[in-house]
């Protein structure tokens, strides 16, 4: 039977612990981030807006803390069963060590699949929406230089873009047009809409500078003659790590076609796609700590050691992957090799302790 | 029970200590030169050589332009200092008044210019010139004034005064305070 | 008394373990985030280590109270599980006496938290800002890849077209600055474009200069006719920003004694926040004890989730009150203390209930 009563019991315990740990981590991190972000409260961008902004970014924080929460949750679930000697009962009832560990893996993989769905569909949109919402909130009084603006050269003009919305609407577009090194025209448009094949600018203010005088003009709408496509702006304005795996893959292919180096998007892509495997290997290592003769050490201590080892392996993986691409490893191996090593070490410990 | 407990404390202490140590011994940057804050405070933010400043007014027309071999702007004190400035002051009819001095300071936001050290103000095509040790000019309402002894030269006559006010738009000059004129005899007018 | 020592050690050990894990998690994720910034060249790797150490008190100030709260919950939960509490009750231990026992660890943690919040965190925050600012003035321009826009921090962005073969001189340099003059709420933006440029460092002040040659600098706001044009033969620009002094004296960096004297609402609010944290530890201790009562079937992690929500609610109410006092909505005299009193009252209520029902 794939999923019998004992498996269900283990799954309930582990899932409960994972949810609790995720809430603890999210609650703490959001509080710390809130205190940190209070600094950019200004004018009508109030503390409530900061809270709203952080609320919108919760899916992305959820994604970031999920692996750690799964690792600690699985361990605490196992640990609590071990401390009430239920594990010994199970093994006495003839359930092999591997079946128990597999019982723990099922909820872990379930949670990881949920996390992957969030990474594909929810967090990229929520990150983009949050960023755009913040630009719109603070655009009222541009007293605060926008921190994450994107710049682009095209012909004799330099463009600066505030942010891009999911429906391809770009906010806060500034253009400086030069003739050689002399600035001829400075233009600002609140929004730019993509109309299928061309851009339309909305509430455009312009200042033209001549040798002996300047002219200012304001138009409601204006056509924007440019070769820049929405996809280019998407890549320019959206941080790479929070993009969904499919977007990362498309971006990597696009870079390959251009003959450019596509290591960075590929690395993030493989890190996201191979997450079930990496998580399983981490839980394997950590779980090996919980099993083993309970007489000598209290369960709580084992959980602690398991968590610390699991975390250090996770951070080694996170630091090793970008570093290895520097040495020319292809991103796939940069993520896969540490995972396989972890799994091997885990299995070895399990067999020894089991 | 006490042996494992001590072990647990030892482990936690080790982790925190290791974290702090690992974080602290990171490769220290190049030996940092001790910075003295006074030098940093009045260190100029922007120094421009052989520069030409052009200010456009609210109406889009040039209100002032100024050429200088050396301009120093210190953002902390929001202070712009120019060396031997040659300035062109434009009035409402865009006539160009010439102004120069040894040293000047400029506030681009309020378009206020202060010239010190044998300052001259030359009126366009009317042939008179004002010399003084200090000359203030407010670009927004085109008004120049000086409250130190000033010499008005309108060849062949010259006039001295304690204080003077000039409104460029209607080129009106007002001299006040012990005004003394010197009018050479009619004969040697050129 | 042995029981006293046993309980205190149990609580402190669990707290140390929980604090260690939370610290490792939070510091770890922040380190990874900073590491990816460093990889992109935003902040150099060398200052990564000192940045984390300066952030440590800021984290401890929040993690320690939570860890202590969870520590009590888990430790006493464990005692309930092993029904040691029932044994204690049999020997005449009442909730109030148990509370007196937990007061000692609470005092130790409160001192630690107070040390962090009143002294270390402001100093750490000041050091972080100073390091970042100083690092920004040392930013080596030649490290920037040509053909890419690089953010210099403080609203300044630079673009370098290309480098000469020996890499010392730059061709076609563009610099965009957004400066806010003191006292003027409007942001002016300046754009400078020059044919060539190189960089120098002044040894005594340690500031790095970008020297541009044959170029023009424009101060213009689209839509407004008032503008400023400046053509130059050579333009020496200091890299770090002018108003670094202004940034450094914001309330967050002020030392506690300074806050105490300055009686503006914002300063008083910040002071009340910092003084409130050690107090919070005692209130949490009071709250944790009745909450830790758990029956063996539920397992000792059952009460963890409600406890965390309580903690986050407590903190957010505190933050809201600080913000209200700061913005003048709440009188400084009243200040933040009602929030502490509210949770103290809640704790008293829970304690009274468990006292009456006798800790079964």
Query: Under a CB-based contact definition with an 8 Å cutoff, are residues C127 and C135 in contact?
Result: no
Q: Which strand (E) or helix (H) includes residue C354?
A: helix C337-357
Confidence of residue B25 (pLDDT cuts 50, 70, 90): low
**Separation between Cα atoms, residue C26 and residue C262, nearest integer Å:** 33
Facing B75 at nearest CB: one of C49, C231, C242: C242
Same domain as C12, residue C59: yes
Return all residues near A333 (Cβ < 8 A) that are at least 6 apart.
A324
Query: Under a CB-based contact definition with an 8 Å cutoff, are residues B87 and B104 in contact?
Result: yes
Confidence of residue C219 (pLDDT cuts 50, 70, 90): confident
Give the three-class secondary structure for B49.
Answer: strand
Say yes or no for a CB contact (<8 Å) between A47 and C323.
Answer: yes
**Separation between Cα atoms, residue C173 and residue A29, nearest integer Å:** 41
C41-81 pLDDT, tens digit per residue, is: 566 666 777 888 888 888 888 888 988 998 888 888 878 77
Task: Say if B55 is an interface residue toward chain A (CB within 8 Å).
Answer: no
Backbone angles phi, psi at A291, to 5 degrees: -80, 170
Q: Tell which wins on pLDDT, A55 or B179.
A: A55
Say yes or no for a CB contact (<8 Å) between B8 and A301.
Answer: yes
Residue with tokens 């919040």: C117
Residue B168 to chain C, least CA–CA distance (Å): 20
A177: chain C residues, CB-CB within 8 Å: none
Confidence at residue C183, expressed as pLDDT on a 0 to 100 scale? 56
For the segment C80-90, the average pLDDT, to the nearest whole number, is: 80
Instruction: Give me the residues paired with residue B146 across strands.
Output: B164
Say yes or no for a CB contact (<8 Å) between A29 and C305.
Answer: no
Same domain as C229, residue C129: no
Say yes or no for a CB contact (<8 Å) between B60 and A215.
Answer: yes
Same domain as C255, residue C124: yes
Task: Say if A208 is an interface residue toward chain C (CB within 8 Å).
Answer: no
Facing C222 at nearest CB: one of A35, A186, A318: A186
How many C-alpha atoms does C130 have within 13 Å on its Cβ side? 12
Q: In A10-26, which positions are buried (b, 16+ CB within 10 angstroms) versus exposed (e)?
A: bbebbbbbbebbbbbbb
Residue C95 to chain A, least CA–CA distance (Å): 25
Instruction: Give me the residues paired with residue A158 across strands.
Output: A153, A176
C244 lies in a domain?
A: no
Say yes or no for a CB contact (<8 Å) between C36 and A76.
Answer: no
For the cut 60, the answer to whether the pLDDT of residue A294 exceeds it is no
For the segment B159-174, the average pLDDT, to the nearest whole number, is: 83
Q: Exposed, middle or buried, C122 (CB in 10 Å: 0-12/13-18/19+)? A: buried
- The whole-chain average pLDDT of chain A stands at 81
Confidence at residue A264, expressed as pLDDT on a 0 to 100 scale? 79
Return all residues near C238 (Cβ < 8 A) that are at least 6 apart.
B43, B44, B45, B46, C137, C207, C208, C209
For the cut 60, the answer to whether the pLDDT of residue A157 exceeds it is yes
Say yes or no for a CB contact (<8 Å) between B11 and A297.
Answer: no
C143: chain B residues, CB-CB within 8 Å: none
Number of domains, chain C: 2
Q: Which chains touch C (3 or more CB pairs under 8 A)?
A: A, B
Facing C230 at nearest CB: one of B8, B33, B51: B51
For the segment A297-312, the average pLDDT, to the nearest whole number, is: 76
Confidence of residue A297 (pLDDT cuts 50, 70, 90): low
Query: Under a CB-based contact definition with an 8 Å cutoff, are residues A214 and C225 in contact?
Result: yes
For the segment C272-286, the average pLDDT, to the nearest whole number, is: 87
Confidence at residue A85, expressed as pLDDT on a 0 to 100 scale? 78
Q: Which strand (E) or helix (H) includes residue A102?
A: helix A97-117
Sign of CA dihedral A229, A235, A236, A238: positive
Confidence at residue C335, expressed as pLDDT on a 0 to 100 scale? 76
Say yes or no for a CB contact (<8 Å) between C27 and B19.
Answer: yes
**Nearest residue in chain C measured CA to CA from A175:** C222
**Separation between Cα atoms, residue A13 and residue A18, nearest integer Å:** 9
Residue with tokens 């309970």: A294
Task: Say if B8 is an interface residue toward chain A (CB within 8 Å).
Answer: yes
Confidence at residue B63, expressed as pLDDT on a 0 to 100 scale? 83
Could you tell me which of A127, A129, A128, A134 has the C-alpha nearest to residue A42? A134
Task: Say if B6 is an interface residue toward chain A (CB within 8 Å).
Answer: no
For the segment B93-112, the average pLDDT, to the nearest whole number, is: 84
Say yes or no for a CB contact (<8 Å) between C234 and B48.
Answer: yes
Same domain as C206, residue C159: yes
Distance of CA B30 to the CA centre of its chain: 37
Find residues 142-171 of chain B whose CB sits inside 8 Å of chain A. Answer: none
A213: chain B residues, CB-CB within 8 Å: 56, 60-62
Residue A235 to chain C, least CA–CA distance (Å): 14
C28 lies in a domain?
A: yes
DSSP for A246-293, please give it. HHHHHHHHHHHHTT---HHHHHHHHHHHTHHHHHHHHHHHHHHHHSS-
Say yes or no for a CB contact (<8 Å) between B61 and A213.
Answer: yes
For the cut 50, the answer to whether the pLDDT of residue A182 exceeds it is yes
A16: chain C residues, CB-CB within 8 Å: 301
For the cut 50, the answer to whether the pLDDT of residue A256 exceeds it is yes
Distance of CA C52 to the CA centre of its chain: 11
Tokens of A23: 């809430």
Confidence of residue A141 (pLDDT cuts 50, 70, 90): very low
For the segment B26-46, the average pLDDT, to the nearest whole number, is: 55
- The whole-chain average pLDDT of chain C stands at 79
Same domain as C284, residue C229: no
For the cut 60, the answer to whether the pLDDT of residue C25 exceeds it is yes
Residue B155 to chain C, least CA–CA distance (Å): 36
For the cut 60, the answer to whether the pLDDT of residue C133 exceeds it is yes
A200-244 pLDDT, tens digit per residue, is: 898 899 999 888 888 888 988 888 888 888 888 887 777 777 788
- How do the residues of chain A divide into helix, strand and coil, expressed in percent and rounded to 5? 60, 20, 20
- How do the residues of chain C divide into helix, strand and coil, expressed in percent and rounded to 5? 60, 15, 25
Tokens of A144: 């605060």
**Separation between Cα atoms, residue C19 and residue C69, nearest integer Å:** 10
Confidence of residue A145 (pLDDT cuts 50, 70, 90): very low
Cβ pairs bridging A and C (under 8 Å): 165
**Separation between Cα atoms, residue C65 and residue C68, nearest integer Å:** 5
C162 lies in a domain?
A: yes
The interface pTM score, or ipTM, of the predicted complex is: 0.72
Q: Tell which wins on pLDDT, A329 or B57.
A: B57
**Separation between Cα atoms, residue A243 and residue A203, nearest integer Å:** 30
Find residues 98-117 of chain A whose CB sits inside 8 Å of chain C. Answer: none
Sign of CA dihedral A238, A135, C219, C206: negative
For the cut 80, the answer to whether the pLDDT of residue C256 exceeds it is no
Say yes or no for a CB contact (<8 Å) between A64 and C22.
Answer: no
Query: Under a CB-based contact definition with an 8 Å cutoff, are residues A173 and A188 in contact?
Result: yes
For the segment A123-127, the average pLDDT, to the nearest whole number, is: 84
Same domain as C329, residue C299: yes
Report how far apart, in Å, the C-alpha atoms of A231 and of each of A237, A247, A254 are: 10, 10, 10
For the segment A286-302, the average pLDDT, to the nearest whole number, is: 67
Confidence at residue C180, expressed as pLDDT on a 0 to 100 scale? 65
Confidence at residue C242, expressed as pLDDT on a 0 to 100 scale? 41
Confidence at residue C233, expressed as pLDDT on a 0 to 100 scale? 92
Residue C58 to chain A, least CA–CA distance (Å): 9
C243 lies in a domain?
A: no
For the segment B28-50, the average pLDDT, to the nearest whole number, is: 62
For the cut 50, the answer to whether the pLDDT of residue A142 exceeds it is no
**Nearest residue in chain C measured CA to CA from B17:** C20
Name the pTM for this structure.
Answer: 0.74
DSSP-derived pairing of the beta strands B129-138 and B143-146? antiparallel
B90: chain C residues, CB-CB within 8 Å: none
Facing C223 at nearest CB: one of A32, A145, A205: A205
Task: Please identify, among C203, C238, C273, the residue that sits at the C-terminal boundary of a domain.
Answer: C238
C45: chain B residues, CB-CB within 8 Å: 26-27
Facing C187 at nearest CB: one of A32, A142, A158: A142
Find residues 294-333 of chain A whose CB sits inside 8 Å of chain C. Answer: 300, 304, 307-308, 311, 314-315, 318-319, 322
**Separation between Cα atoms, residue A143 and residue A74, nearest integer Å:** 47
Cβ pairs bridging B and C (under 8 Å): 130
C312-338 pLDDT, tens digit per residue, is: 888 888 888 888 887 777 777 777 888
Residue A74 to chain B, least CA–CA distance (Å): 21
Return all residues near A140 (Cβ < 8 A) that are at least 6 apart.
A43, A44
Facing A213 at nearest CB: one of B7, B12, B62: B62
Confidence at residue A150, expressed as pLDDT on a 0 to 100 scale? 82
Query: Under a CB-based contact definition with an 8 Å cutoff, are residues C170 and C141 in contact?
Result: yes
Task: Give the CA-trace dihedral at C221, C226, C231, C235, to 10 degrees.
Answer: -60
> Ranked by mean pLDDT, which of A331-335, B163-167, B174-178, C45-49 comes out on top?
B163-167
Parent domain of C20: 2-137+250-357
Confidence at residue C93, expressed as pLDDT on a 0 to 100 scale? 78
Task: Please identify, among C206, C238, C270, the residue that sits at the C-terminal boundary of a domain.
Answer: C238
**Separation between Cα atoms, residue C196 and residue C194, nearest integer Å:** 6
Say yes or no for a CB contact (<8 Å) between C230 and B47.
Answer: no
**Separation between Cα atoms, residue C116 and residue C122, nearest integer Å:** 9
Same domain as C256, residue C220: no
C245 lies in a domain?
A: no
Say yes or no for a CB contact (<8 Å) between B11 and A212.
Answer: no
Residue A319 to chain B, least CA–CA distance (Å): 14
**Separation between Cα atoms, residue A10 and residue A4, nearest integer Å:** 10
For the segment B79-108, the average pLDDT, to the nearest whole number, is: 85
Confidence at residue C245, expressed as pLDDT on a 0 to 100 scale? 44
Cβ pairs bridging A and B (under 8 Å): 23
Window from A88-92, C45-49, C259-263, C283-287 with minimum mean pLDDT: C45-49
Confidence at residue A237, expressed as pLDDT on a 0 to 100 scale? 79
For chain C, give the longest Cα–Cα distance. Answer: 91
Task: Say if C146 is an interface residue toward chain B (CB within 8 Å).
Answer: no
**Nearest residue in chain B measured CA to CA from C16:** B12
Confidence at residue B32, expressed as pLDDT on a 0 to 100 scale? 46
Say yes or no for a CB contact (<8 Å) between A301 and B4.
Answer: yes
**For an interface test with B, which of A212, A216, A289 has the most B Cβ atoms less than 10 Å from its Cβ?**
A212
Task: Please identify, among C238, C264, C297, the residue that sits at the C-terminal boundary of a domain.
Answer: C238
B46: chain C residues, CB-CB within 8 Å: 235-238
For the segment A187-200, the average pLDDT, to the nearest whole number, is: 87
């Amino acid at each position: 039977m794939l999923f019998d009563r004992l498996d269900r019991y283990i799954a309930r315990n582990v899932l409960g612990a994972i949810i609790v740990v995720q809430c603890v981590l999210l609650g703490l991190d959001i509080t710390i981030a809130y205190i940190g972000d209070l600094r950019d409260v200004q004018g009508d961008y109030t503390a409530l807006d900061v809270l709203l902004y952080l609320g919108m970014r919760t899916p992305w924080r959820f994604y970031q803390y999920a692996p750690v929460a799964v690792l600690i949750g699985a361990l605490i679930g196992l640990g609590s069963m071990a401390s009430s000697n239920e594990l010994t009962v199970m093994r006495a009832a003839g359930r092999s060590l591997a079946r128990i560990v597999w019982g723990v893996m099922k909820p872990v993989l379930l949670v990881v699949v949920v996390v992957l769905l969030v990474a594909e569909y929810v967090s990229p949109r929520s990150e983009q929406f949050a960023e755009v919402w913040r630009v719109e909130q603070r655009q009222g009084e541009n007293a605060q230089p926008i921190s994450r603006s994107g710049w682009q050269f095209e012909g004799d003009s330099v463009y600066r873009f505030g942010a891009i919305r999911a429906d391809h609407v770009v906010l806060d577009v500034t253009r400086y047009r030069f003739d050689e090194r002399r600035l001829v025209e400075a233009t600002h448009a609140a929004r730019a809409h993509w109309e299928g094949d061309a851009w339309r600018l909305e509430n455009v203010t312009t200042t033209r500078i001549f040798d002996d005088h300047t002219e200012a003009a304001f138009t409601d709408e204006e056509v924007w003659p440019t070769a820049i496509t929405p996809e280019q702006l998407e890549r320019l304005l959206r941080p790479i790590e929070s993009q969904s795996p499919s977007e990362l893959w498309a971006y990597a292919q696009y870079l390959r076609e251009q003959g450019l180096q596509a290591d960075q998007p590929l690395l993030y892509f493989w890190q996201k796609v191979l997450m079930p495997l990496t998580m399983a290997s981490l839980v394997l290592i950590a779980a090996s700590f919980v099993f083993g003769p309970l007489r000598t050490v209290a369960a709580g201590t084992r959980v602690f050691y398991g968590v610390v080892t699991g975390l250090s392996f996770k951070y080694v993986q996170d630091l090793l992957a970008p570093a290895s691409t520097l040495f020319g490893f292809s991103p796939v191996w940069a993520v896969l090799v540490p995972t396989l090593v972890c799994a091997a070490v885990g299995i070895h410990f399990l067999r020894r302790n089991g | 029970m006490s042996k494992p407990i001590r072990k647990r404390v030892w482990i936690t202490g080790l982790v925190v200590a290791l974290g702090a140590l690992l974080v602290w011994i990171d490769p220290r940057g190049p030996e940092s030169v001790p910075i003295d804050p006074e030098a940093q405070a009045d260190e100029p933010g922007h120094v421009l050589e052989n520069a030409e400043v052009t200010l456009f007014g609210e109406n889009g027309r040039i209100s002032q332009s100024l050429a200088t071999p050396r301009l120093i702007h210190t953002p902390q004190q929001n202070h712009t200092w120019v060396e031997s400035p040659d300035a062109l002051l434009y009035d409402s009819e865009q006539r160009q008044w010439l102004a120069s001095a040894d040293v000047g300071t400029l506030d681009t936001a309020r378009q206020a210019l202060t010239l010190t050290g044998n300052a001259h103000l030359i009126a366009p095509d009317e042939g008179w010139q004002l010399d003084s040790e200090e000359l203030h000019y407010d670009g927004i309402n085109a008004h120049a004034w000086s409250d130190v002894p000033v010499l008005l030269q309108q060849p062949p006559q010259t006039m001295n005064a304690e204080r003077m006010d000039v409104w460029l738009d209607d080129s009106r000059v007002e001299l006040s305070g012990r005004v003394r004129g010197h009018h050479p005899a009619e004969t040697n007018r050129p | 008394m042995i029981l006293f020592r046993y309980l205190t050690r149990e609580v402190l050990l669990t707290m140390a373990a929980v604090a260690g894990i939370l610290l490792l998690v939070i510091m770890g994720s922040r380190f990874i985030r900073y590491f990816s910034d460093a990889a992109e060249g935003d902040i150099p790797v060398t200052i990564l280590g000192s940045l984390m150490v300066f952030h440590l008190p800021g984290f401890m100030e929040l993690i320690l109270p939570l860890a202590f709260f969870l520590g009590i919950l888990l430790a006493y939960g464990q005692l309930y599980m092993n029904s040691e509490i029932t044994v204690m009750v049999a020997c005449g231990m009442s909730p109030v006496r148990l509370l007196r026992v937990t007061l000692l660890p609470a005092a130790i943690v409160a001192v630690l938290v107070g040390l962090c919040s009143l002294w270390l965190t402001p100093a750490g925050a000041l050091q972080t800002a100073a390091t970042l600012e100083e690092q920004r003035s040392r930013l080596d321009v030649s490290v920037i890849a040509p053909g890419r826009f690089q953010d210099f921090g403080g609203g300044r962005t630079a673009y370098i077209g290309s480098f000469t073969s020996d890499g010392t001189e730059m061709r076609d340099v563009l610099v965009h600055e957004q400066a806010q003059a003191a006292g003027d709420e409007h942001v002016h933006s300046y754009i400078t474009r020059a044919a060539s440029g190189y960089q120098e460092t002044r040894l005594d002040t340690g500031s790095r200069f970008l020297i541009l040659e044959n170029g023009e600098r424009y101060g213009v706001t689209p839509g407004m006719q008032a503008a400023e044009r400046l053509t130059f033969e050579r333009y020496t620009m200091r890299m770090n920003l002018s108003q670094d002094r202004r940034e450094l004296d914001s309330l967050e960096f002020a030392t506690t004694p300074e806050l105490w004297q300055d009686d503006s609402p914002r300063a008083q609010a910040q002071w009340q926040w910092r003084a409130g944290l050690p107090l919070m530890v005692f209130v949490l201790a009071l709250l944790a004890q009745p909450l830790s009562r758990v029956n063996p079937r539920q397992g000792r992690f059952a009460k963890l989730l409600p406890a965390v929500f309580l903690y986050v609610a407590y903190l957010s109410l505190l933050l809201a009150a600080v913000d209200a006092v700061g913005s003048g909505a709440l009188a400084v005299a009243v200040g933040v203390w009602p929030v502490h009193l509210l949770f103290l009252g809640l704790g008293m209520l829970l304690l009274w209930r468990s006292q009456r029902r006798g800790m079964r």
